[in-house]
Structure 1
Amino acid sequence: MSLNLPTALASAFFLSLLWYIATSITTYHRLRHIPGPWLASFSYLWLILTTFRNHTRESFLSLVKYGALVRVGPNYLVTSDPEILRKIQSARSTYVRDPWYASVKLHPHQDSLFNILDNDAHDILKTKTMSGYSGRENGDPEVVVDSQIIRLLTLIRRKYLSTDDKLLSADFGALSRYFTLDVITRLAFGEPFGHLDDGTDVYGWIEHIDRILTVAGLAGDIPLIRNMVFSKWGTRLFGPKPTDKRGVGRVTGVVQATVRQRFEQGAKPQNDGLGGFMRNGLTPLECEAETMLQIGAGSDTSATAIRGMLMYLMTTPRAYIRLKSEIKHAVEQNQVSSPITFEQAQKLPYLQASPLPFYLIPSHLNHGHYKRAPPEGDTINGIFIPGGTAIGHNTLAITRNEAIFGQDVEVFRPERFLECSGEKRKEMERALDILWGGGRWTCAGRNVALMELNKVIFELMRVFDFQLVDIRKPWEEFILTITMHKNMWIRITEADKLD
């Protein structure tokens, strides 16, 4: 006997409902001993509502009331305890990456160092790519950073320098990204894309990447969406294409063309990131995927730190003046070259203290990086974690831990790292340090990112003065899984000459 269409649909709906109820009960029971929002115990509704209401900051900060381990989804936990993360990310950890990492995939057909899930495969690939990500393939990566700092200063003087009777507003949200994009593409290809030539989004990367990262942030937290968006048909239908005229697809096309040209018979590997990947045996597809990751991860995260640092200096006169004073003294005492070297920058106490509080401000990735417990499970702080449970970091809560950073944790105050004991400073730095990852998952581009931040902030503050154009609206900030900024309009003037 055949069923008519309404009956068939009703039956399918009823069976799906029964399946959902059964799996929800099973899921709830498995982690029922771990506290968290009620909706998170059986569904992803808490994460969905948090995202669509734009309440990520408030919601994830509120989780501390549940303790150090909190349930935010049927199989997802987050922690605000740096020591738990240190255990999970230790060199001998048996945790593995959760499929959450699939949401950060910039190449449609090839996994990269960031989203490969198998530990052994990850370790092999990291060995092959480390020299490319560290900038060592370029000889001295500091020379590359210096060249782009000079281009940034030149662009500002030519196009954005205001005077007493003339305002030329600059969107530093865009400028910071032009700088980091040209640094990373110079490291990757031996030549920058040219964003700093005239202060333009050459290929439309910035125009499109924020939209992609917003979708990726939502997809990462919700497996159903993730499996749809990053399936073969999903990437084929909705993903960027190398034939696109603008955006991530256009950059993908440029990367593919460059890789193809380099792999032509007789082509000699060059002294840049791509050349290093080739020398270490990566296939053309692997080179494409790693280079796209290098551009994406190496530009947006560093730009977020640079503009965040400048924003909080501009809005904290005490810190702004003190850093200016330290720079002036270093120049007058001939303690620094031009541009400053990373080694010289590391000897300036206030400059070193100033980037640290930036991590008390929303960082680029506010939560995530989920790792799955081994099949036999694990015990953390006396709590049993069933095998396969994914645990991620709650960066927003970690960086606002009053027990670690003090009761004035919301205040941008570099002095907290200078006025405390050596033991206390080490505790604070260790808590922030784990946000770079640990063990096999330590950020491969960490040293380049820190070098960029230290050097460019010093040089900008050495030669220019900065002021917000509209203090009532300093920037547009979007805090989802990641933090994004745009329309950071500032007035830049020539500073008193120091050398």
Structure 2
Amino acid sequence: MAGFLSSTTGISQFSPPLLASCAAALLLCYLLIGAWVNHRKLRQFKGPLWASCSRSWIFWHECNARLNKAQFDAIRQYGSPCRIGPTLLITDDADVVRHMNAPASQWRRSGWYDGMRLDPRLDSVFSTRDEKHHAELRAKESGGYNGRDIATLEPDIDSRINDVLALIRDRYSNRKTMDIALISRFFTLDVLSTIAFGRPFGFMEANDDLWDYVKSTSSAMFMLTLVVNHSSVRWLFHSRIMQALGAPKVTDKTGMGPMLAFARKAVAERFGSKPVVKQDMLGHFINKGLSQVQCEAEAALQIIAGSDSTTTILQCTMFLLVGTPAAYAKLKDELDQAEKAGTMSGSDIIKYAETQKLQYLQAVIWEGIRLFPPLFGLKAKLAPKGGDTINGVYYPEGTEMAICDAALCQNPAVFGSDAHLFRPERWIEADAATKVKYRQTVDSIFGSGRFLCLGRHIAMMELHKTIAELVRHFDFAMADPMRGIDTHAHSVHLQSNMNLVATPRI
């Protein structure tokens, strides 16, 4: 006992600064050992040294709103696949993407998708990592997204196109400056709500940022980027405390909350004692057996992913087109000639089927998508048990493989030395085999097979019809060619001050 007392007395004599120094030294050793272990995991793949030790490389570039650019630069410097995390690689190879997405592939969704669980109660078709559940939801929802079971899909889009044409003509046609980024956001949100819930949110009618939704998007998307890319942030965000304190709520007066309230009210009307019956997307989901809670979860996904992606392509393609007068003139001439020839609707909105016969219009849209892929989140897949070999490269079990959409779509090996330029003619001048390669490469950003984006058909219909009608009805010009646009990159392109002026043509 005396010896024990003597020992404890000696310990108590250590000064607090010394104890703190010892604790700091132990923590430093722990971090250094952890960094070394992380570095060794995928040491055969090149990438920034910092990135091999922790995800702090990703975090740093997220905080500077340039993760997409950092990924692009890393691939150009180190090659593809490039290592950007201890277990995370990124590729610009469309063949690798198609291999991972193939029906027989054993690659699975990584923890990144857990962060896309926007409703804490259950997963959506996009967030679920359960293969069986994912297949079941896709089977039930696909008819709603591809329009096969919704006769009102194209007429609903036509109604909102008429709204945006009227908005520009009534509010901006007298040489008033319009921000095509803001107008595009209002348009896609109203299209989305009409298709999904049977009525528009009302952004275009108000010509205003309802509930400050657009204003709040930048901070919300920054947080979402942290959640999907970092398991620790994801755990914290999904905790009950954070859900109670920081998550959007239907009782909120601004931001995402009022949008969710709008969606839940629309869903509740279909499940009430006197349910409203409509043959729209929500009605399709209900007919296929989705519960009220599942419909609400899908609605949250549609608001975030459905509008932001189409907005990016629409605003960027229009801005690129207006900034390239030769391309603008060619598209305008193609539309005028088609109208004179009677191969497109006269006073009505152009049909989607008619747009598929307009070669230059399609080239413009695919070139816009190529230069500004809409959603550039990591979307990482997980290598199967025992690993996998793709094109002679072995990926160990547990490897996460993400996609750099920008590098993939501007790969000089596919698109040539001018891959960074907006040049729609490349889609027309190329031979048949090259056109197929172009299309397959760009199309891979929408996924394929079991991971094909369900909203692709709706987005392409919106884009073809809307860009055709905007160019058909107005002559657009840059409001201030010497002023650059404002842009932030948090999994989507958040842009403003894409200022144009519109002069009515018809």
Scaled by the length of structure 2, the TM-score of the pair is 0.92
What's the offset of the Cα at 1:232? 3.2
Q: Residues 249 and 135 (structure 1 numbering): CA distance in 2 closer, same or farther, change over 3 Å?
A: farther
Q: Residues 243 and 7 (structure 1 numbering): CA distance in 2 closer, same or farther, change over 3 Å?
A: farther
- What is the CA deviation profile of residues 262-287 of structure 1, one whole-angstrom value per residue up to 9, with x for unaligned ones? 21234154212222222222222111
Q: Residues 462 and 71 (structure 1 numbering): CA distance in 2 closer, same or farther, change over 3 Å?
A: same
Of 45, 49, 53, the residue aligned with 1:42 is 53
Q: Is the 8 A contact 2:62 2:222 kept in 1?
A: no
Of 24, 33, 49, the residue aligned with 2:44 is 33
Q: Is the 8 A contact 2:123 2:297 kept in 1?
A: yes
Q: Is the 8 A contact 1:345 1:351 kept in 2?
A: yes
Q: Is the 8 A contact 1:468 1:474 kept in 2?
A: no
1:323 aligned counterpart, secondary structure:
helix
Match of 1:388 in 2: 398
Match of 2:82 in 1: 70
2:386 aligned counterpart, secondary structure:
coil
Q: Which structure 2 residues correspond to residues 439-458 of structure 1 after superposition, within 5 A?
A: 439-458=449-468
Of 100, 103, 108, the residue aligned with 2:112 is 100
- What is the CA deviation profile of residues 346-397 of structure 1, one whole-angstrom value per residue up to 9, with x for unaligned ones? 0011001111111332322234110011121112233321211110101121
Of 126, 141, 152, the residue aligned with 2:153 is 141
Q: Is the 8 A contact 2:312 2:372 kept in 1?
A: no
Distance 2:402 2:477 in 1: 37
Distance 1:467 1:455 in 2: 20
Of 378, 384, 389, the residue aligned with 1:379 is 389
Of 243, 249, 252, the residue aligned with 2:260 is 252
Distance 1:419 1:161 in 2: 36
What's the offset of the Cα at 1:294? 1.4
- What is the CA deviation profile of residues 56-114 of structure 1, one whole-angstrom value per residue up to 9, with x for unaligned ones? 35422222332221110111110011100110111111111111123333323322111
Match of 2:412 in 1: 402
Distance 1:6 1:242 in 2: 50
Of 45, 51, 63, the residue aligned with 1:52 is 63
Match of 1:80 in 2: 92
Establish whether residue 234 from structure 1 lines up as the match of residue 234 from structure 2: no
Of 225, 228, 236, the residue aligned with 1:220 is 228
What's the offset of the Cα at 1:154? 1.1
What's the offset of the Cα at 1:140? 3.5
Of 18, 21, 24, the residue aligned with 2:35 is 24
Establish whether residue 271 from structure 1 lines up as the match of residue 279 from structure 2: yes
Q: Aligned AA for 2:33? A: A
- What is the CA deviation profile of residues 455-477 of structure 1, one whole-angstrom value per residue up to 9, with x for unaligned ones? 00000100101111111224212
Q: Residues 9 and 275 (structure 1 numbering): CA distance in 2 closer, same or farther, change over 3 Å?
A: farther
Of 196, 204, 207, the residue aligned with 1:188 is 196
Taking only the aligned residue pairs, the percentage that are identical comes to 33
Distance 2:134 2:27 in 1: 37
Establish whether residue 434 from structure 1 lines up as the match of residue 444 from structure 2: yes
Scaled by the length of structure 1, the TM-score of the pair is 0.93
- What is the CA deviation profile of residues 115-145 of structure 1, one whole-angstrom value per residue up to 9, with x for unaligned ones? 1112111111111222233344542311111
Q: Aligned AA for 1:236? A: A
Distance 2:267 2:16 in 1: 52
Q: Is the 8 A contact 2:309 2:492 kept in 1?
A: no
Match of 1:202 in 2: 210
Of 69, 84, 101, the residue aligned with 1:89 is 101
Q: Residues 186 and 367 (structure 1 numbering): CA distance in 2 closer, same or farther, change over 3 Å?
A: closer
1:191 aligned counterpart, secondary structure:
coil
Distance 1:323 1:279 in 2: 42
Q: Is the 8 A contact 2:197 2:282 kept in 1?
A: yes
Distance 2:202 2:64 in 1: 37
Structure 2 stretches lacking a partner, 5+ long? 1-7
1:365 aligned counterpart, secondary structure:
coil
Establish whether residue 478 from structure 1 lines up as the match of residue 478 from structure 2: no
Of 103, 114, 125, the residue aligned with 2:126 is 114
Q: Single out whichever of 265-274 and 348-357 deviates more from structure 2.
A: 265-274
Establish whether residue 462 from structure 1 lines up as the match of residue 472 from structure 2: yes
Distance 1:120 1:297 in 2: 23
Q: Is the 8 A contact 2:153 2:280 kept in 1?
A: no
Distance 1:360 1:232 in 2: 40
Of 252, 270, 295, the residue aligned with 1:287 is 295
Distance 1:75 1:234 in 2: 28
Q: Is the 8 A contact 1:95 1:372 kept in 2?
A: yes
Distance 2:23 2:285 in 1: 50
Distance 1:364 1:126 in 2: 22
Match of 2:170 in 1: 158
Distance 2:233 2:227 in 1: 5
Q: Residues 14 and 275 (structure 1 numbering): CA distance in 2 closer, same or farther, change over 3 Å?
A: farther
Distance 1:46 1:252 in 2: 34
Q: Is the 8 A contact 1:30 1:386 kept in 2?
A: no
What's the offset of the Cα at 1:309? 0.9
Q: Aligned AA for 1:21? A: L
Q: Single out whichever of 419-428 and 136-145 deviates more from structure 2.
A: 136-145
Distance 2:392 2:329 in 1: 48
Q: Is the 8 A contact 2:192 2:303 kept in 1?
A: yes
Distance 1:428 1:47 in 2: 29
Distance 1:449 1:61 in 2: 25
Tell me the C-alpha RMSD between the 2 structures. 2.1
Q: Is the 8 A contact 2:218 2:490 kept in 1?
A: no
What's the offset of the Cα at 1:10? 6.4
What's the offset of the Cα at 1:18? 4.2
Match of 1:128 in 2: 140
Q: Residues 356 and 291 (structure 1 numbering): CA distance in 2 closer, same or farther, change over 3 Å?
A: same
Q: Aligned AA for 1:305? A: I
What's the offset of the Cα at 1:307? 0.7
What's the offset of the Cα at 1:17? 4.1
Distance 2:389 2:305 in 1: 33
Q: Residues 181 and 276 (structure 1 numbering): CA distance in 2 closer, same or farther, change over 3 Å?
A: same
Distance 1:300 1:38 in 2: 33
